[in-house]
C-alpha cells in the first residue's frame, strides 16, 4: 500500500474545504467556530482510496492570514499540493504567501485547481487562469495542470481524481525516508474517554510501533505508545508520510501542545542554534544580520536572531550561510526545510535548509566555518561525515556523537566509515565506544605524544617511562583513562611506543647506566637484600635519588611507609606469614610476626599495613589472620 499526503493551499474562502468534501465526501471543518464563520482555523484531515494500491491522506490548511502558523504545520509532509484559486476572485494575498511557503518548504508537485467554476462565465474563467499563470511563473507550479472544478455540481472532480492518479502512476511522488529514528511533529492534541491522550501528525521519518518508548520535546518527557491509528484504522506500525494518531501513556493532554515533537531519544537532541542556508524571497525586504525573525519548522514556531555568517545584509532573492539563534530549543535534522517570517508586519520573508543544530555560537566571517557550511550544502554524504569527524580534531568523536551532531542516519555513517578507513582518511580507536579521528589529526596526536615522551626521556633518562596518567594530563585531559590506554595500545601496535605496567615509553627506549651508576645500583640492592626487614633509611643507602627512583620504577625496590625494602625480601616475608597462618589459623599477634620476620616495631607496622592492603593478611582484633589474597595463595 502506497500512502501519500495531499494538501490544499490558497486564500481564505476560495473553497478548499468544499473541494475536499467533493473529493471524499468528508467535511474537514470540525469546529463550531469554523462552521459559523465559514473558514478553516485548525488543520482538517481525511483520506480517500485512489485505487487498490494507493491511499491518499488529505490535509485541509487554513487560508486566513491569521492562521498561517496552522497552515505551515500542515504543509510539512505534503507529497502533492492542490493550489486552490477561486474563479470569482483570482490570485489573492494568501495565494501568494502560501505559494512562497510551499516553495521554501521544497514541495515539488502540484495541481492548480480553479474552484467555483459554476458561478463565472468562460471569459472570466479564462482571465483568472491567465492571472494565475502570471503568479506561478518561475515556481514549481509553472508547468502544472489546471483543473477548473465546481464543488457544487461536481464538474471537474473526476478529472481532478484522474490527474492525481496520473501523478502517482508516473512515480512522481518521492518516497519518504525510513531513518533509524522517527519524528512526529504534533499538530493536534486531544483526550478520549477510556483511551487517554492522543496526538496527531504526519510521520516525518522512520517508523513508530505499538509498545515503543518515545520522548516528547520540549522537556524530554518519556512516554509509551499504546495504540496507533492511520486513517482511522488500527495498525501496529506507522510509516513515513502517513497521517497518524498516536495514543500515549505516561503523559496528560494538558502537558502537550501543537509544536511539540514526538521522537526517539537516541540521536536527536534539542538545540537552540540552527546552522543553515537561508534564502530571502525576491519581493521581501533586505535582511540585516541579527534581525529577529519568526522561525517555523513542522508544527513549531519560535523567535530568534538570523546571524549572517559571510555578510552584513542579505538582499532580496539572495541566499547565504546563517546561524539562527533561537529563543527556545528545537529538534531539527539535516535536510529539514523551514520558513522565517518578519516580526512586524507579519509576513513570510524567506526560508532555507537545515545543516545541523548545536548549542555553540559560531563566529562570523570565519573561513573554516564557511568551508564547513559549503561542504554541508553541496558535499556528498561521505565528504560531510569526514568533515564532521575533522571538526573534532585530536579529541575524536564516537558514532553516537557523530550521528547526533550531523543528524545523519547512523546506518549511513556505518556504511561510509569503512570506505574512509580504506582510503586512509580516518582511524578508529576501539574504546567502550569506537572513537573516530581524521587521519591527519591522529598523526598530530601521535606526534604530540612522541614529542612529550622524547622530552621526558631526556629529562629523566633513568626512568623506564612516563606514567600514563601524567601523559594524559599533558595532553590537556581531553581523553578518558580508557580512551588514553586505547590510543597507546594502537600506537604500540604501530611500533611507536612500549607499555610496561603504569608506564609508557618510546619504542626501543632503554635505560643505559654508566659503569659507576651500575656499581652503585648493585651495591644498594645487595645492602637492602642483606639487611632483610631492618633496611637502612633512604639517606643511608649511599645512592643518588635518581638511581633509587630508577630501582623503584623498575620494581626491584619497594617503598613501604617511606622505608626502602628489597622486593625479594618483601615477597619472602609474604610466603613466611602465609605458611605460619596456614598452620595457625587462629591468627598471630604483632609481636609474633615481628619475631617471625626478625625485625622491630619500627618496620613491622608499615609492613603489616602493606600486607593488609594486598589482602595477604587481615586484622581481627589484636591478631592478624589470612586475608582473601592470603587464602588464595595458601591453597
Reported as a single tens digit per residue, the pLDDT across 150-173 is: 988 989 888 988 888 887 766 444
Cα dihedral value 627, 628, 631, 633, nearest 10 = -110
**pLDDT tens digits for range 3-42:** 677 778 887 677 777 888 887 766 544 433 323 333 232 4
For residues 535-559, give the mean pLDDT.
81
Q: How many CB atoms lie within 10 A of CB 586?
A: 8
User: What distance in Å separates the CA atoms of residue 436 and residue 45, rounded to the nearest whole number?
Assistant: 46
> What was the pLDDT predicted at 29?
43
Contact 508/496 with Cβ under 8 angstroms? no
Distance CA 379, CA 364 (A): 21
Instruction: Indicate the length of the chain as a whole number.
Output: 635
The predicted pLDDT at position 31 comes to 36
At residue 493, the pLDDT reads 92
Is residue 449's pLDDT more than 90? yes
495: left (phi over 0), alpha (psi -120 to 50) or beta: left
pLDDT value at position 53? 63
Angle at 243 between CA 242 and CA 248, to 5 degrees: 110
Q: Which helix (H) or strand (E) holds 420?
A: helix 410-422
The pLDDT of residue 279 is: 94
Return d(Cα 42, Cα 63) in angstroms, integer.
10
Cα(350)–Cα(101) distance, integer angstroms:
8
Phi, psi values for residue 526, rounded to 5°: -65, -45
Residue range 105-124: average pLDDT?
A: 87
pLDDT exceeds cutoff 80 at 410: no
162: exposed, middle or buried (C-beta count within 10 Å: 0-12, 13-18, 19+)? exposed
C-alpha cell at 404: 547526533
| Residue 247, helix vs strand vs coil | strand
Q: Summarize the confidence of residues 430-445 as an average pLDDT.
A: 87
**Quick one: cell of 327?**
529563543
Q: What is the pLDDT of residue 303?
A: 94
Is it the case that residue 514 has pLDDT exceeding 70?
yes
* 455 has a pLDDT exceeding 90: yes
Rg (CA), the chain: 37
**Residue 441 clears pLDDT 50, i.e. is over it:** yes
User: Number of helices (H) and strands (E), helices first, in the chain?
Assistant: 19, 35
- Written as nine digits, the cell of 569 is 625480601
Of 494 and 257, which is predicted with more confidence? 494
Residue 517 reports pLDDT greater than 80: no
Asked whether the predicted pLDDT for residue 580 surpasses 60, the reply is yes
State what percent of residues in the chain have pLDDT above 90. 27
Pairing of strands 233-235, 261-263: unpaired
In the chain, the N- to C-terminal Cα span, in Å, equals 71
> For strand 237-238 and strand 208-209, is the pairing parallel, antiparallel, or unpaired?
antiparallel
What average pLDDT does the segment 558-575 reach? 88
Helix, strand, or coil here: 82? strand
CB neighbours of 450 closer than 8 A, spacing ≥ 6?
A: 496, 497, 506
Give, as one character, the DSSP assignment of residue 562.
Answer: T
pLDDT band of 311, cuts 50, 70, 90: very high
Rounded Cα distance between 82 and 85, Å, is 9
Distance CA 390, CA 375 (A): 12
**Per-residue model confidence (pLDDT) at position 179:** 56
The fraction of the chain above a pLDDT of 70, given in percent, is 88
Residue 35 contacts by C-beta under 8 Å, 6 or more apart in sequence? 29
Residue 265, pLDDT > 70, answer no
pLDDT exceeds 50 at position 285: yes
Rank 106-115, 305-314, 412-421 by mean pLDDT and report only the highest.
305-314
Residue 105 DSSP one-character state: T
Cα(94)–Cα(420) distance, rounded to whole angstroms? Answer: 49
Q: What CATH fold (topology level) applies to the domain 271-372?
A: Elongation Factor Tu (Ef-tu); domain 3 (2.40.30)
Where residue 419 falls among pLDDT bands split at 50, 70, 90?
very high
Q: Do 2-169 and 183-263 fold alike per CATH?
A: no
Q: Which helix (H) or strand (E) holds 570?
A: helix 567-583
Q: What's the pLDDT band for 314 if we cut at 50, 70, 90?
A: very high
Q: Which helix (H) or strand (E) holds 483?
A: helix 481-493
pTM summary value = 0.69
CATH topology (fold) of 518-634: Arc Repressor Mutant, subunit A (1.10.10)
State how far the Cα of 105 lies from the Cα of 78, in Å rounded to an integer. Answer: 10
The predicted pLDDT at position 632 comes to: 85
CATH topology of domain 2-169: Rossmann fold (3.40.50)
Residue 220 region, left (φ>0) first, then alpha (ψ -120 to 50), else beta? left
In this predicted structure, what is the pLDDT of residue 30? 46
pLDDT of residue 56: 66
pLDDT for 65 equals: 44
Question: Bigger pLDDT: 177 or 412?
Answer: 412
Average pLDDT of 416-437? 88
* Angstrom distance (rounded) from CA 574 to CA 633: 10
pLDDT at residue 122, rounded to an integer: 85
Could you give the residue ranges of the DSSP H alpha helices within 325-407? 367-378, 381-390, 399-406
**Average pLDDT, rounded, for the chain:** 83
Task: Locate 17 and state its grid cell.
Answer: 474545504
Q: Which stretch of 112-116, 241-245, 530-534 has the lowest confidence by average pLDDT?
A: 241-245
Locate 479 and state its grid cell. 581523553
Confidence of residue 325 (pLDDT cuts 50, 70, 90): very high
Mean pLDDT of 594-614: 87
Q: Is the pLDDT of residue 602 over 80?
A: yes
Q: How confident is the model at residue 592 (pLDDT cuts 50, 70, 90)?
A: confident
Domains of the chain by residue range: 2-169, 183-263, 271-372, 379-512, 518-634
Q: What is the pLDDT of residues 57-102, one digit of tens each?
A: 676 654 334 434 554 554 555 778 889 998 888 888 888 888 888 8
Task: Name the CATH code of domain 379-512 (choices 1.10.10.10, 1.20.140.10, 2.20.25.90, 3.40.228.10).
Answer: 1.10.10.10
Helix or strand (DSSP H, E) at 612: helix 601-614
183-263 belongs to CATH 3.30.365.10? no
**What is the longest distance spanned by two Cα atoms in the chain?**
123
Amino acid at each position: 500500500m502506497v500512502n501519500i499526503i495531499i494538501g490544499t493551499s490558497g486564500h481564505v474562502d476560495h473553497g478548499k474545504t468544499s473541494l475536499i468534501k467533493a473529493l471524499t465526501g468528508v467535511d474537514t471543518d470540525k469546529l463550531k467556530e469554523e462552521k459559523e464563520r465559514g473558514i478553516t482555523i485548525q488543520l482538517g484531515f481525511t483520506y480517500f482510496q485512489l485505487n487498490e494500491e494507493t491511499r491518499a491522506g488529505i490535509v485541509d490548511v487554513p487560508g486566513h492570514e491569521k492562521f498561517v502558523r496552522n497552515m505551515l504545520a500542515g504543509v510539512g509532509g505534503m507529497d502533492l499540493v492542490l493550489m486552490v484559486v477561486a474563479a470569482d476572485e483570482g490570485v489573492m494575498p494568501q495565494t501568494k504567501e502560501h505559494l512562497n511557503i510551499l516553495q521554501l518548504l521544497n514541495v515539488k508537485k502540484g495541481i492548480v485547481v480553479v474552484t467555483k467554476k459554476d458561478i463565472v462565465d468562460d471569459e472570466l474563467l479564462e482571465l483568472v487562469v491567465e492571472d494565475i499563470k502570471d503568479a506561478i511563473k518561475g515556481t514549481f507550479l509553472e508547468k502544472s495542470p489546471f483543473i477548473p472544478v465546481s464543488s457544487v455540481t461536481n464538474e471537474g472532480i473526476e478529472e481532478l481524481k484522474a490527474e492525481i492518479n496520473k501523478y502517482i502512476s508516473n512515480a512522481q511522488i518521492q518516497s519518504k525516508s525510513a531513518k533509524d529514528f522517527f519524528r512526529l511533529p504534533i499538530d493536534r492534541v486531544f483526550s478520549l474517554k477510556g483511551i487517554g491522550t492522543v496526538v496527531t501528525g504526519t510521520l516525518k521519518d522512520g517508523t513508530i510501533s505499538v509498545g515503543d518508548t518515545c520522548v516528547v520535546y520540549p522537556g524530554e518527557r518519556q512516554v509509551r505508545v499504546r495504540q496507533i491509528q492511520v486513517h482511522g484504522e488500527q495498525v501496529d506500525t506507522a510509516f513515513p508520510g502517513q497521517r497518524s494518531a498516536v495514543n500515549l501513556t505516561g503523559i496528560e493532554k494538558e502537558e502537550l501542545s501543537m509544536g511539540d515533537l514526538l521522537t526517539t531519544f537516541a540521536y536527536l537532541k534539542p538545540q537552540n542554534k540552527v546552522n543553515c542556508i537561508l534564502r530571502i524571497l525576491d519581493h521581501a525586504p533586505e535582511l540585516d544580520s541579527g534581525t529577529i525573525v519568526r522561525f517555523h519548522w513542522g508544527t513549531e514556531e519560535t523567535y530568534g536572531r538570523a546571524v549572517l555568517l559571510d555578510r552584513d545584509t542579505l538582499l532580496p532573492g539572495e541566499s547565504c550561510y546563517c546561524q539562527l539563534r533561537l529563543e527556545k530549543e528545537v529538534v531539527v535534522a539535516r535536510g529539514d526545510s523551514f520558513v522565517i517570517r518578519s516580526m512586524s508586519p507579519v509576513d513570510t520573508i524567506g526560508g532555507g535548509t537545515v545543516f545541523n543544530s548545536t548549542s555553540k555560537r559560531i563566529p562570523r566571517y570565519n573561513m573554516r566555518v564557511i568551508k564547513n557550511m559549503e561542504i554541508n550544502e553541496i558535499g556528498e554524504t561521505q565528504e560531510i561525515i569526514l568533515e564532521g569527524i575533522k571538526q573534532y580534531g585530536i579529541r575524536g568523536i564516537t558514532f553516537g556523537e557523530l550521528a547526533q551532531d550531523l543528524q545523519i542516519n547512523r546506518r549511513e555513517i556505518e556504511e561510509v566509515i569503512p570506505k574512509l578507513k580504506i582510503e586512509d582518511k580516518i582511524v578508529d580507536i576501539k574504546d567502550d565506544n569506537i572513537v573516530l579521528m581524521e587521519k591527519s589529526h591522529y598523526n598530530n596526536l601521535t606526534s604530540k605524544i612522541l614529542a612529550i615522551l622524547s622530552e621526558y626521556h631526556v629529562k629523566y633518562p633513568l626512568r623506564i617511562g612516563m606514567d600514563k596518567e601524567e601523559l594524559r594530563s599533558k595532553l590537556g585531559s581531553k581523553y578518558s583513562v580508557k580512551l588514553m590506554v586505547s590510543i597507546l595500545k594502537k600506537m604500540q601496535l604501530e611500533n611507536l611506543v612500549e607499555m610496561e605496567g603504569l608506564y609508557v615509553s618510546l619504542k626501543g627506549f632503554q635505560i643505559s647506566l654508566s659503569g659507576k651508576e651500575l656499581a652503585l645500583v648493585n651495591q644498594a640492592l645487595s645492602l637492602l637484600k642483606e639487611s632483610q626487614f631492618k633496611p637502612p633509611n633512604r639517606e643511608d643507602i649511599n645512592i643518588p635519588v635518581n638511581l633509587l627512583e630508577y630501582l623503584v620504577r623498575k620494581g626491584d625496590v619497594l617503598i613501604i611507609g617511606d622505608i626502602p625494602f628489597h622486593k625479594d625480601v618483601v615477597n619472602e616475608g609474604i610466603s613466611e606469614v602465609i605458611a605460619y597462618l596456614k598452620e595457625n589459623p587462629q591468627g598471630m599477634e604483632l609481636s609474633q610476626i615481628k619475631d617471625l620476620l626478625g625485625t622491630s616495631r619500627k618496620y613491622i607496622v608499615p609492613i603489616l599495613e602493606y600486607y593488609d592492603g594486598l589482602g595477604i593478611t587481615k586484622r581481627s582484633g589484636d591478631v592478624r589472620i589470612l586475608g582473601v589474597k592470603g587464602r588464595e595463595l595458601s591453597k
